[in-house]
Amino acid sequence: MNKIVFSLFLLLSIFAFTAGGCSDKVDKGSKVGDTEADNYDVSKDTQRDMSIQEYNIQERKKLATVRFACDTIALMEYVLANYPEGTYLVDFDRTFTYNIPKSAVIYQKNNEGQYVFGIIAKSWSHDPRLIEMKNIVGYDASYIDLDSTELGTAFFYLTLFKGNEKENTFDTLWEAGIPSHGGFNNLTLEKWEKKKMPYVKANFHYAQGIGHFDYNFFFVDGMLKKPHLLLTYEGINFKRIMTDANGDKYPDYIEFKYLDTGERITVLDSVTFIWKDTCYFNTRNPKQFRYY
C-alpha cells in the first residue's frame, strides 16, 4: 500500500514539475499584442489585398478552358488595375460550397462591339477596413447592414463596360449605384413584356425578413444611357411588385400592406406608386414618395 502511495506521489510530482516548466516558457515569451504579427490586420493591408486578387486571377486562368478577347478574366484584371484598392468584380453566390466561383457579368454583342454588364463592389474610402468577397456575397452576408463597420462597407454598382478587343481592355460607359451593402445573389437579363423593354435584375438575399430584394435597371433610353432603377421585393410580411399604372415608358409598382400578429400574417391593403419626374409618388397620398 505504501509503495502504491509513493508511486502516485512521485507521478504527481513529475507532472507538477513538467507543467511548471511549460508555464515558465510561456511567461518568458511574448504576450498577446506585443508583436507586429499579433496586431496585423490583413483587411487593412492594401498590398496584401491586391496580391490575393492577383493570385485568384491566376487561379482562374488555370481553370479556364476557353479564353477570348475581353473575357471575364480580362475584366477582372482591368478592375484590379484601374479601380481604387478594395474593389472587386463580384461573384455570384455559390449554389454549392465547392462550386467554382462565377463572376456576375452579362455579355451583350452588337454591330458596335462587345459590351459587358458587371457588378462592381467598392470599399468605402473613409473606412480603413477593405471589404472581402465572403462578407458581401451570399445569404449570411445580407446581415452585414447590422455590423458593416466591423466588416468594411461595400458600395455596389451595376456597371456597363465596352470591350476593346484589339487591346484586350475596356472602357467604362456608366455605373449605377445599388442601394445595398451585402447579400448579393445573382444577376440576370430580363424583359418587361408589357413594353418589350430589356432590363437587368440584381438579386440580393434579405435574411432578416426571410426574403429578397430585386434591383431592376430599365433601359428606358437605350442600353448606352444610365438606366432607371425600380426596387421590388418579397418576404414573409412585405411585398412590392412591378406594374404599368399609367402607360408611360417607366415601370410603376404596387406595395402591399400586411398585418403581422406573430401568429398570423394577413394582407390588409395595397397601394400603387407612379413615377413622376424624379420620384415614385403614392397615388393616394402624394406627400409620400420613394426614389426607386
Measured CA to CA, the distance from residue 9 to residue 15 in angstroms comes to: 10
Per residue in 133-188, pLDDT (tens digit) is 999 999 999 998 776 567 889 999 999 999 999 999 999 999 999 999 999 999 99
Q: Helices 72-82 and 46-63, interaxial angle, to 10°?
A: 170
Segment-wise mean pLDDT, segments of 10 residues, the chain, 292 residues: 45 45 40 48 71 90 92 97 95 82 94 95 90 93 76 95 96 98 97 96 95 98 97 97 97 96 94 97 96 98
Measured CA to CA, the distance from residue 252 to residue 245 in angstroms comes to: 6
Is the residue at 221 inside a domain? no
pLDDT at 22: 42
Is the residue at 144 inside a domain? yes
Structural domain containing residue 63: 33-183
Could you give the count of Cα atoms lying within 13 Å of 77 in the half-sphere of its Cβ?
15
Is the residue at 219 inside a domain? no
Is the residue at 95 inside a domain? yes
Is the residue at 20 inside a domain? no
pLDDT at 8: 41
Using alpha carbons, select from 198, 195, 118, 131 the residue that is nearest to residue 159.
Answer: 118
Measured CA to CA, the distance from residue 161 to residue 119 in angstroms comes to: 11
Using alpha carbons, select from 228, 226, 77 the residue that is nearest to residue 159.
Answer: 226
Is the residue at 110 inside a domain? yes
Q: Which run of H or of E encompasses 74?
A: helix 72-82
* Residue 36 backbone phi and psi in degrees, to 5: -65, -35
Q: How many domains are there within the chain?
A: 1
pLDDT at 51: 86
Is the residue at 67 inside a domain? yes
Q: How far is CA 245 from CA 11, 205, 254, 265, in A?
A: 87, 28, 9, 27
pLDDT at 42: 58
